[in-house]
Amino acid sequence: MRRTLTRLALLVLGAASLPACANGYDGDRRGHGNDRDSVNVQLGPRPFFLVEEMSDGPLKKRLQHCAARRDDYKPTLFSIGHRGAPLLFPEHTKESYEAAARTGAGIVECDVTFTKDKELVCRHAQNDLHTTTNILSTPLANKCIKPFTPAQFDAAGTLVAPAAAECRTSELTLAEFKTLRGKMDAFNPRGRTVAEYQAGTANWRTDIHAGPTSGTLLTLKEAIALFKKLGVKMTPELKSPSVAMPFDGFSQAAYAQKMIDEHKAAGVQPRDLWPQSFDINDVLYWVRNEPAYGRQAVYLDDANVVADLPTAEQLKAYRAAGIRIVAPPLFALLTADTSGNLLPSPYARDAKAAGLDIITWTLERSGILADGGNGFYFQTFDSAIKREGDVFRVLDVLAEQVGVLGVFSDWPATTSFYANCTGQK
């Protein structure tokens, strides 16, 4: 969910801006359609492990009480499957999406890009096939824009040049894309062979669900059909192309429209769809040209550090332009005081004051928390994170003090458990 964009587009909205109106989350946070509410949500042991890992206090007691008395956990829109459930399953695969639904995610994400023949498929980036699929070990490797080059070392064994490759969906037809298998997103920069390069999965993830007969890649149409069968709502993200647009006559506007059209053709109602983009022009396109679906369009914030975040005035301009929902990374919403308490950030207060709803990303993506140095997502409040169970402190402040609509997670069971136990819808 990361790309660089400019906010200068807001400077020219002026009279073209749409009038402000009520917040866009439609309030229907229960009904999922189909038979989803009858599905037996299976959380597995991790949420319960995390509860026991918490420091003693009222929240721990509340969650322990819930864990002891409940066995009827339900899907929840508060829990959003980020790329499916990629803590344990290859991202954007059938198996990952099914795991997200089974662990209680009420909304699941398909990141959308396109193939050489302009068909929409689910991949986190147009140019990530070399790290998320087995392409380098197939004959299709010869279609990669940058073939695999092995790592180079000097006589002392010091790495001189890391292994590298780049393979794009836009270099493959849909038929070719469908022959690939998803794997855990990882690479080994010290790899001397393709096999070594395609290894590198973090030790807090697993390759156990990434075998040669799993990792099923999906088109957007197939993902929509699967999501409808699972009874989950949908949050497709229009990914920034790696190729120049228009691509063989396929414009950015046509790309943005096609993503909506495929949901419309499948009968997906506007209330069940949260289209996303890091490009404000995509979001404004939906607001203006597909107002029913644009009502829940999500503007993703690509800030890398606090200094990159929009000001209060910029947030007000988003709302005036018709944008109703923003989705910044976790660090944008939280801060910590000297006593180790987690608090809403200035950005969180400014966004709410501007009349914007908030979704955030991404939980369960930072590995072991207790060892400190938890990186990008925790950068503004890492000093307050001491235990694995602190993930529930994070969720509690996001839900009760910031008031987020939902939280993307790489393992939705954790967020689903919290939501079920605290009354989040």
Both structure tokens of 156:
């002392």
Out of 21-35, 36-50, 63-77, 196-210, which region has the weakest mean confidence (pLDDT)?
21-35
Residue 40 confidence class, pLDDT cut points 50, 70, 90 = confident
pLDDT (0 to 100) of residue 38: 47
pLDDT mean over 177-199: 98
Identify the bridge partners of residue 250 per DSSP, sorted by sequence position: 247
Q: d(Cα 28, Cα 18) in Å, to the nearest integer?
A: 24
Tell me: pLDDT of 28 over 90: no
Q: Which run of H or E residues covers position 64? A: helix 58-69
Q: Is residue 188 part of a domain?
A: no
Dihedral sign for Cα 22, 7, 291, 272, please. Answer: negative
Tell me: pLDDT of 172 over 90: yes
Q: Which run of H or E residues covers position 160? A: strand 159-161
pLDDT mean over 264-278: 98
CATH of the domain at 92: 3.20.20.190
Q: Which run of H or E residues covers position 255? A: helix 252-265
Q: d(Cα 397, Cα 341) in Å, to the nearest integer?
A: 10
Tell me: pLDDT of 24 over 80: no
Tell me: pLDDT of 33 over 50: no
pLDDT (0 to 100) of residue 23: 37
Given the structure tokens 């136990």, which residue do they identify? 421
pLDDT mean over 337-347: 98
Both structure tokens of 171:
């270099």
Out of 24-28, 115-119, 285-289, which region has the weakest mean confidence (pLDDT)?
24-28
pLDDT (0 to 100) of residue 11: 35
pLDDT (0 to 100) of residue 17: 36
Count of structural domains within the chain: 1
pLDDT (0 to 100) of residue 377: 98
Q: For residue 103, how many other CB atoms are within 10 A of its CB?
A: 28
pLDDT digit string (tens) for 199-238?
Answer: 999 999 999 999 999 999 999 999 999 999 999 999 999 9
Q: Is residue 152 part of a domain?
A: no
Q: For residue 343, how many other CB atoms are within 10 A of its CB?
A: 16
Q: d(Cα 102, Cα 84) in Å, to the nearest integer?
A: 11
pTM attached to this predicted model: 0.92
Say what percent of the chain tops pLDDT 90: 90
Q: Is residue 379 part of a domain?
A: yes
Q: Is residue 174 part of a domain?
A: no
Q: Is residue 197 part of a domain?
A: no
pLDDT (0 to 100) of residue 219: 98
Q: d(Cα 101, Cα 413) in Å, to the nearest integer?
A: 9
| Residues contacting 291, CB < 8 A, separation 6+ | none
Q: Is residue 234 part of a domain?
A: yes
Contact 395, 349 (CB under 8 A): no
Q: d(Cα 51, Cα 49) in Å, to the nearest integer?
A: 5
Contact 234, 266 (CB under 8 A): no
Identify the bridge partners of residue 114 per DSSP, sorted by sequence position: 120
Tell me: pLDDT of 250 over 60: yes
Q: d(Cα 32, Cα 289) in Å, to the nearest integer?
A: 26
Q: d(Cα 24, Cα 42) in Å, to the nearest integer?
A: 31
DSSP state, residue 149? E
pLDDT mean over 282-290: 98
Q: How many angstroms separate the Cα of 390 from the Cα of each of 49, 163, 385?
A: 12, 37, 6
pLDDT mean over 118-139: 98
Q: How many angstroms separate the Cα of 91 from the Cα of each of 62, 97, 125, 283, 301?
A: 33, 8, 11, 24, 21
Residue 39 confidence class, pLDDT cut points 50, 70, 90 = low
Across all residues in the chain, what is the average pLDDT? 92
Residue whose C-alpha is closest to residue 105's, from 72, 73, 80, 74:
80
Q: Which run of H or E residues covers position 194? A: helix 194-197
Tell me: pLDDT of 194 over 80: yes
Residue 99 confidence class, pLDDT cut points 50, 70, 90 = very high
Q: Is residue 266 part of a domain?
A: yes
Both structure tokens of 338:
């000297």
Range of the domain at 54: 8-126+216-422
Tell me: pLDDT of 30 over 80: no
Three-class secondary structure of residue 69 per DSSP: helix
Q: d(Cα 113, Cα 121) in Å, to the nearest integer?
A: 6
Tell me: pLDDT of 10 over 50: no
Both structure tokens of 95:
């198996």
Tell me: pLDDT of 21 over 50: no
Cis peptide preceding 47, ω within 30 of 0:
no
Q: Is residue 263 part of a domain?
A: yes
Write the DSSP string, 323-384. Answer: --EEE-BGGGTEEE-TTS-EEE-HHHHHHHHTT-EEEEEEES-S--STTS---GGGTTTGGG
pLDDT mean over 123-152: 98
pLDDT mean over 143-167: 98
